Chain A
Amino acid sequence: MALDFSIILRFQDALVLGLWMTIKLTLICIVLGCTLGFVVGLARTSRNVLVRAVSSIYVEFFRGTPVLIQLFWIFFCLPLILGVELSNLASGVIALTLYMGAITSETFRASLKSVGPEQRDACVALGLPNRVQITNVILPQAVLRAIPTLLSNCVSLFKESALVSAVGMADLMFVGQNISNNTARPVEVLTVVALIYFAIAFPLTRAVTLVEGRILKKLAI
C-alpha cells in the first residue's frame, strides 16, 4: 500500500479545530500553571513548616506520577469527590494546571536559589527594608533567570497536552486518532499530526536557546 498524504486534505478543518483546542488548553494552563508554580515555589522556601510540607508533598506527588494517571484521576475521581459534573475542558485545565504548577515551581525555586547571597549583603549594606529586597532585587532576578526554563516547560506542556486525548478531549491528537481510525491510514495521519506539533514546538525551543543566551549575558556579573 503506497503512502497517500492527499487524504489528509479532506480533514483539514477538523485538524484546525483540534489544533485550536490544543493551543487554547496549553495557553490557559501556561498562565494558570506558572502563577501556581510561582506561589508554590515561594511556599517551598517559606519559614512555616506546614506550608513547606504541604507544598512539597504536592510537588513531589505531581512530579513523581505519570501525567496520564493524573488526568484519569482528575477526570473520573474529582467529579465524584466534588459532587459536580466537570466539562472536558475544565477537567483538562485543572489536570494540566496542577501538573504545570508542580513543574514550574521547581523552576522558580531553583532560580530563587541562584540569586547569590552577595546580593542580599548588598541590600543590607544599602539599608533596604526586607520588602524592597524581595520585590526590587531578589524576585526580578529570579524571574529573569527562570524564563528560559519556563519556556522549555511550556514546550513540554504543549506536547504533554496530547495526553488529554486519552480521556476524550477533542484536541489535535484526538482528532488525528479519529481520522486515522476512519481512514485506516495511521502512518500518514500521525506523521502529519507530528509535523504540526513540531512546526510549533521547534521554533519555541530555538527561542529558548536565544533568550537564554541573552539573559545569561545580561545577568553575568
Chain B
Amino acid sequence: MSNTAPLVKMRNLHKSYGPHVQVLKGLDIEMKPGERVVVIGPSGGGKSTLLRVMMGLEKIDSGSVTFAGKPYISSESADTKTVIDTDVRRSIGMVFQHYTLFPHLSVLQNLILAPCKVRGEKKASAMQRGQALLERFGLGAKADAYPAQLSGGQKQRVAIARALMLDPKLMLFDEVTSALDPELVGEVEQVILQLANQNMPMMIVTHDMWFAKNIASRVIFCAGGVVVEDGPPEQVLGSPKEERTRDFIDRVFHIKH
C-alpha cells in the first residue's frame, strides 16, 4: 500500500489575484511518488500559478496541500493567513522560465550558496558536490564562469543543478525551455530526461509536444482554473476524451487525428 500513498495531495485549491482575477477555482490533484506529471493548458489558465503555489511562492485563498503525508500549505478562506511549512518547502525545488541565476556569483557559487547557508554544509564538501554535478551536466569547465557568460541553455542547466544541490524530493519546471533559442532546447530537455531516469518526481509545464510525450508518466489538462482531463500521456495527448482538450491539442500541438 505504501507505494501508492500520494506524494502530493492538493485539495480544493482556490487562488485569485485581487478581487476580480480568479485563477485557481477548486483544483484537486494527487501525485504518486515517482510520477512525472506534465501540466498543459491554455495561456493564462493558471499553470504557472499552480507551480508557484506548490513552491510556496504564492498565498492561496483556500484549500490545502499535503506533501508525503505531512500538511504543507493550507488556508481556510481568502481572509485567513496561508500557512506554509517551510521545512516541507525546502524539499521542493523549482526552475523558472526566466533566468534566475544570481548574476553577481559564479556558477559554482550559485550552486553552493543554499547548501552552505541553509544546511550549514562545509564549503569544501558543497564545492565538491557542485563540481561533480556540473560535470554530469556537461558544465565542468564553467564552474568559475559568471551567468552573463553562459548561453541560455547553459544557464537553465545550471539552474537545474542549483536546485538539485538541495536533494529535492520533488522538482517543478515551469516552461524552462520557452525562453531559449530552438537549438538550445534539446540540451536542457536531455538533462531533465536524465533526472526522469533516476525516478525524480516532477511536475512540468511545457508546450513542447515531443518533450511532453517523452517525459510524462501522466498528463493533466488544466483550463479555467480546474482540471479538465487527467490521465496517461497516450490518452490525454493521443486521444483525449474531453472536447476542450482535443481543441487545445489540435491548436497548440498541430496534431492531426
Contact = CB atoms under 8 A, between A and B. Distances in A.
Interface in B153-169: 155, 162-163, 166
A221 B101 contact: yes
A124 B101 contact: no
A218 B117 contact: no
Contact of B94 (A125, A140, A219, A221): A125
A121 B148 contact: no
A136 B117 contact: yes
B146 to A, nearest CB: 6
Given A128-B113, A128-B117, A220 B148 contact: yes
Contacts of B114: 126-128
Interface in B204-234: none
Interface residues of A, number: 21
A122 B96 contact: yes
Interface residues of B, number: 29
Contacts of B90: 127
Contact of B102 (A121, A122, A124): A122
A125 B148 CA distance: 21
B252 interface: no
A129 B117 contact: yes
Given A122-B100, A141-B103, 4 more contacts: A126-B166, A132-B113, A144-B104, A219-B148
Interface of A: 118-119, 121-122, 124-129, 132, 136-137, 140-141, 144, 217-221
The 6 closest A-B pairs by CB, nearest first: A122-B100, A126-B114, A127-B90, A125-B94, A132-B117, A221-B103
